[in-house]
């Protein structure tokens, strides 16, 4: 089973910060067979990092857009269409709880974003929450994208920085696997270097999605190196 470690920087780091982060990360990360690292920087960093990552020789590291427009290119001021991201990133995060909560994104908005991403060759990382997992997943059951990743991201651990117990995570990924048996599933919710190994060891889990702990290159490299041993 392929393993994924996803770092979501959210609204942090300018281009210089991002370059320094990758320079440090490259010196500490130990690539392992079957492990792919995905970093989601801010949009302003994507174009620069697409070049910088290649220059560092980080062949097992991919970039992701933190979001994408639910609409194609056109008269949508401030939006960034999937077609504009193609060539800069391989993945796009869709449906993160912060987007649903603070930007009032609906299930249909997320469905549209996933379809836009897939149409232009981007691999969605679809975030779902326990209480709404069925309604968030059902409209995408037939989507033609075998490489889509489902991120099980309970809202409370993201808000209060207290990770959900491994038993609860096991229960959640089991429910998702029943609906999407062939999808990679990762857990996101207050993952850090101290607790990552416990979650990486869970049967049926393909990896982790890291928020705050991904902002520091040393701790994130440590999590990535752990993934190569589980």
* CA quadruple 72, 101, 156, 187: dihedral, nearest 10: 0
Pairing of strands 61-65, 207-210: unpaired
Q: Which of 29, 191, 6, 18 is nearest to 91 (CA)?
A: 6
Annotated catalytic, 230?
no
**How confident is the model over 81-132, as pLDDT tens digits?**
999 999 999 999 999 999 999 999 999 999 999 999 999 999 999 999 877 8
pLDDT value at 228 more than 90: no
**How confident is the model over 144-203, as pLDDT tens digits?**
777 899 999 987 756 667 789 999 999 999 999 988 888 999 999 899 999 999 999 999
Rounded Cα distance, 35 and 42, in Å: 23
Cα–Cα distances (Å) from 83 to 115, 148, 149, in that order, read 12, 18, 20
**How confident is the model over 42-90, as pLDDT tens digits?**
999 999 999 999 999 999 999 999 999 999 999 999 999 999 999 999 9
CB atoms within 10 A of CB 209: 26
Of 96, 104, 180, 230, catalytic: 96
* CA quadruple 107, 113, 114, 115: dihedral, nearest 10: 110
Rounded Cα distance, 125 and 100, in Å: 15
**What tokens were used for 212?**
């705050």
Beta partners for 65?
92
Whether pTM > 0.75 for this model: the answer is yes
């Amino acid at each position: 089973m392929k393993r994924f470690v996803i770092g979501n920087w959210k609204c942090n780091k300018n281009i210089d910060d991002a370059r320094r982060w990758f320079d440090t990360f490259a010196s500490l990360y130990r690539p392992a067979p079957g492990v792919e690292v995905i970093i989601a920087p801010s949009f302003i960093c994507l174009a620069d990092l697409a070049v910088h990552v290649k220059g560092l020789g980080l062949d097992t590291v991919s970039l992701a857009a933190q979001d994408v427009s639910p609409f194609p290119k056109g008269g949508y001021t401030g939006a960034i269409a999937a077609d504009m991201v193609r060539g800069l990133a391989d993945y796009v995060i869709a449906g993160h709880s912060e987007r649903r909560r603070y930007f009032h994104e609906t299930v249909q908005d997320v469905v549209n974003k996933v379809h836009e991403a897939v149409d232009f060759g981007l691999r969605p990382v679809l975030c779902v929450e326990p209480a709404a997992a069925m309604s968030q997943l059902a409209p995408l059951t037939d989507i033609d994208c075998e490489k889509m990743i489902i991120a099980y991201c309970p809202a409370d651990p993201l808000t209060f920085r207290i990770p959900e117990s491994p038993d609860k995570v096991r229960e959640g990924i089991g429910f998702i696997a029943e609906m999407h048996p062939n999808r990679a599933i990762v857990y996101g919710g207050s993952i850090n270097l101290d607790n990552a190994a416990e979650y990486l060891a869970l049967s049926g889990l393909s990896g982790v999605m890291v928020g705050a702990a991904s902002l520091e290159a040393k701790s994130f490299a440590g999590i990535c190196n752990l993934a190569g041993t589980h």
